[in-house]
Homo-oligomer: A and B are copies of this chain.
Amino acid sequence: MSSEDIKAKIESANKEAVQRVLSSKPFLIDVKPAIEVLPGMNKRSIFHAGPPIEWSKMCGPMKGAIAGTIIFEGWANSWEGAVKLIEEGEIEFSPNHDHEAVGPMAGVISPSLPVMVVKNERYGNINYGRIVENRVQFGAFDEEAVESLRFWAQVLAPAMARALARMRSQGGTGIDLKSIMARALYMGDELHNRPAAGTSLFALTILPYLIETTEDKELLSQIVRYFASNEIFFLCLAMAACKATMNSAREIEYSTLVTAMARNGVEFGIKVSGLGNHWFTGPAGLVRGLYFPGFGSQHANPDMGDSAITETTGIGAFALANSPAILSLVGGTAEDAFKYTRQMQQITTTLNDTFLIPIFDFQGTATGIDIRKVVKTGILPVIDTAIAHKDPGIGMIGAGIVNPPMEAFKSALKEYAAKYKL
């Protein structure tokens, strides 16, 4: 093929890929224990954020999160017990992304942990999201941390499942996440580090069904208070919606679109539409950000989590201009936020037609990262993120901004050139 022919094929493939991204319709349809829905999950599977990694190479907070999850499952009741089980080869590890799922920070999903079930109503694919909480996913495994998983598994998840079942029994499709996300972007959210409006809008949407299906008033009050005081809640739904969106653009021959960006705390990996299911990786970066009192960059673990699926879809830091309020959390000025948001247009395929930036006179967010543009311009995607302590057992110590390693994009482009004989 001539280089003109190949260029036309790439343009056409990317047009198709990004059209799928724009036209996706992710709905929350259910909440179910992972073992019941996640493809490839076995009784002793633990899935995690980012590209594949073996236990011995995992970072501290991911090890801590796995220990916390093993304690939650009741397979062991201490750090030592959990480590023993792992070292005996009892646990199978695998990346969330390779099982249709995403999870924030360590992102650890185990069989009995309920996950959000999100269906892309336009393309039919179903994807899964792990709950967001501020302790286990950051590496803590103390009793209080594990208790937050129990609240989710035993109280909130079953209540949400009942509410969604009621919705379906009334002929509903579930909860339209894209609509909530579009509205939340008008309300100061960028839907990664700040999903506060998304959480409120989601709560008010599901509450009538929770009211109809929850007899215990005290429990109902507790759930409302949980939504009211956990502004970060909606992140797991934004992530699952983004995963369901990007998966519709997977495996389109010739497409140079990035379909996933994810980090395991050691490596940063990307997937590219035209390159199948392969991970292209480089070292996870150090986050530039603000730390909680008593902590600094010397305590910080490198970048971690599947939450960069939001930036992959054109929100998160790609919509930072919508969310100047998070600058008090991640640092920087409003000018920086504007600059990052505009810069992302140079490495993407189109402007989103649903996710808009009112402060840019309603321009769409930059959507559809093209590996060619990243390598050519040298501009790396910008990602909002939280910072975990590098040691297991501690937790969140700050938040900030981070970039992927350029080598992930370069090795993807190299593989692309080899595959398509450029």
Binding site for B on A (CB under 8 A): 186-189, 196-197, 200-201, 203-205, 207-208, 211-212, 217, 220-221, 224-225, 227-228, 324-325, 327-328, 333-334, 358-362
Contacts and interface: CB of A to CB of B under 8 A. Distances in A.
Contact of A186 (B207, B208, B325, B359): B325
B221 A212 contact: yes
Contact of A200 (B204, B217, B359): B204
Given A186-B188, A325-B358, 7 more contacts: A187-B189, A197-B200, A200-B204, A211-B220, A211-B224, A212-B217, A334-B360
Contacts of A327: 358, 361-362
Contacts of A334: 358-361
- What is the copy number of this chain in the assembly? 2
A74 B361 CA distance: 47
B197 A359 contact: no
Nearest to A189: B187
Contacts of A203: 200, 204
A406 B220 CA distance: 53
Nearest to A328: B362
A358 B359 CA distance: 12
B188 A208 contact: no
B187 A208 contact: no
Contact of A208 (B189, B200, B225, B328): B225
A211 B204 contact: no
Contact of A228 (B197, B205, B324, B362): B205
Contacts of A187: 187-189, 196-197, 325
Contacts of A211: 211, 217, 220-221, 224
A221 B200 contact: no
A324 B357 CA distance: 9
Nearest to A227: B204
Contacts of A361: 324, 327, 333-334
A196 to B, nearest CB: 6
Contacts of A201: 200, 228
Q: A-B pairs with the 5 shortest C-beta distances?
A: A324-B358, A200-B200, A186-B325, A204-B228, A208-B221
Nearest to A231: B183
A220 B212 CA distance: 9
Contacts of A224: 204, 207-208, 211
Contacts of A221: 207-208, 211-212
A128 to B, nearest CB: 26
A156 to B, nearest CB: 15
A230 B59 CA distance: 47
Contacts of A325: 186-187, 358
Given A186-B188, A187-B188, A220-B211, A328 B196 contact: no
Nearest to A206: B224
A114 to B, nearest CB: 23
Contacts of A225: 208
A6 B203 CA distance: 55
Contacts of A220: 211
Contacts of A189: 187
Contacts of A360: 334
A358 B228 contact: no
Nearest to A333: B361
A251 B293 CA distance: 45
Nearest to A219: B211
Contacts of A197: 187-188, 197, 200
Of A211, A225, A362, which is in contact with the most chain B CB atoms at under 10 Å from its CB? A211
A204 to B, nearest CB: 4
A92 B2 CA distance: 86
